[in-house]
Amino acid sequence: MARSLLLDKSWQWKQRDTAVAAVLDDSTGWTVAQTSPSEIHVELLKAGRIPDPYIGFNEHKLQWIGEVEWLYQCTFEFTPLANEKYALLEFLGLDTICDVYLNSTKILAADNMFQTHVVQLDLASLKPRNTLLLHFKSAQLLAKQLEAEMGRVRAGSTNLGDPSRVYVRKAQYNWRWDWAPEFMTCGPYRPITLKTYTARIAEVHTHALLSASNISSLAVDVTTAGDSVFASLRITLADFHGTVLKSQDVSATQIGTIPNVVSWDLAGVVQPWWPVGYGDQNLYAVSVLLLDASGQTLDACSTRVGFRRVALIQDELKEADQYGTGTTFLFEVNGVRMFAGGSNWIPGDNFLTTVAPERYRAWLTLLRDGNQNMVRLWGGGVYEPDVFYEICDELGILVWQDFQFACGVYPAHDSFVDSVRKEAEDNVRRLRHHPCLALFCGNNEDYQMVLQWGDVKDFPAIKIYEDVLPDVVERLTGPEPVPYWRGSPYGGKGWDTADPTIGDVHQWNIWGGKELPYQDYAKLGGRFVSEFGIPAHPPMKTIKYWMADAPKEQWHAQSALMAQHCRAGSFERRFSILMNEMFRVTEDLETYVYNTQILQSEALTFAYQVWRRKWAGQGREYTSGVLVWQLNDCNPVSSWALIDYFLRPKPAYFTVARQLAPISVGISRTVVKSRDNDRPIQYYDFSTFLSYGANLEIWGTNSALFSRSATLEISCVDLLTAWTHKETRSVTLLPNQATELLSMPCLGPPRDVAAPNPTGDDKFITTYSVVVAARLLDPTSGEVLARFADWPQPFRFLERASLKDPGLSIETKENGDVTEVKISAERPVKGLVLSAVDDDGDDGPDVQWSDNALDLMPDDAQAVVARGLSGRKIGMAFLGKEKV
| DSSP state letter for 757 | -
Q: Is the pLDDT of residue 584 over 90?
A: yes
SS3 label, residue 727:
strand
In the predicted structure, residue 519 carries a pLDDT above the cut 70: yes
pLDDT of residue 268: 94
CA–CA dist 208, 200 (Å, integer)? 23
- What is the DSSP code (8-state) at residue 467? I
Residue scoring higher pLDDT (156 or 249): 249
Q: 40-61 pLDDT, tens per residue? A: 999 999 999 999 999 999 999 9
pLDDT in tens, 617-637: 999 999 999 999 999 999 999
- Catalytic residue among 384, 445, 531, 882, which? 445
Dihedral sign computed on CA atoms, order 410, 411, 415, 418 = positive
The mean of the pLDDT values for the chain is 95
SS3 240: coil
The pLDDT value given to residue 687 = 60
Q: What is the pLDDT of residue 417?
A: 98
Bridge partners (DSSP) of residue 643 are 649
Phi-psi region of 598 (alpha: psi -120 to 50; beta: other; left: phi over 0): alpha
Structure confidence at residue 763 as a pLDDT band (50, 70, 90): confident
Residue 479: asked if its preceding bond is cis (omega within 30°), the reply is yes
CA angle at residue 40 from 39 to 41, to 5 degrees? 95
Residue 325 has pLDDT above 70, yes or no: yes
Residues with Cβ < 8 Å from 286, sequence gap 6 or more?
A: 204, 206, 208, 218, 220, 235, 236, 237, 302, 303, 304, 305
Indicate the pairing of strand 694-702 with strand 117-121.
unpaired
- Structure pTM? 0.97
Task: Tell me the pLDDT band of 26, cut-offs 50, 70 and 90.
Answer: confident
Q: Is the dihedral of CA 797, 800, 805, 811 positive or negative?
A: positive
Q: What is the mean pLDDT of residues 290-302?
A: 96
pLDDT of res. 117: 98
Lowest mean pLDDT: which of 237-246, 489-498, 539-548, 554-563? 489-498
Q: Check residue 688 and give its pLDDT.
A: 62
**Confidence grade of residue 31 (pLDDT, cut at 50, 70, 90):** very high
pLDDT of residue 580 exceeding 70, the answer is yes
SS3 assignment, position 518 = helix
Instruction: Check if 445 is active-site.
Output: yes
Is the per-residue pLDDT at 257 higher than 90?
yes
Q: Are 238 and 230 in contact (CB under 8 A)?
A: no
Q: Would you place residue 806 in the very low, low, confident or very high pLDDT band (cuts 50, 70, 90)?
A: very high
Are 440 and 390 within 8 A, CB to CB? Answer: no
Domains annotated for the chain, with CATH where assigned, are 3-195 (2.60.120.260), 202-305 (2.60.40.10), 342-659 (3.20.20.80), 663-789 (2.60.40.10), 803-884 (2.60.40.10)
- Burial profile 79-116: b = 16 or more Cβ within 10 angstroms, e = fewer: eeeeebebbbbbbbbbbbbbbbbbeeeebbebbbbbbb
Residues facing residue 631 across a β-bridge? none
> What digits encode the pLDDT tens for the residues 371-430?
999 999 999 999 999 999 999 999 999 999 999 999 999 999 999 999 999 999 999 999
- What phi and psi, each to the nearest 5 degrees, are found at residue 725? -150, 145
Q: For residue 652, with 0-12 CB atoms within 10 Å meaning exposed, 13-18 middle and 19 or more buried, which class applies?
A: buried
Looking at residue 405, its amino acid is F
Band of residue 569 on the pLDDT scale cut at 50, 70, 90: confident
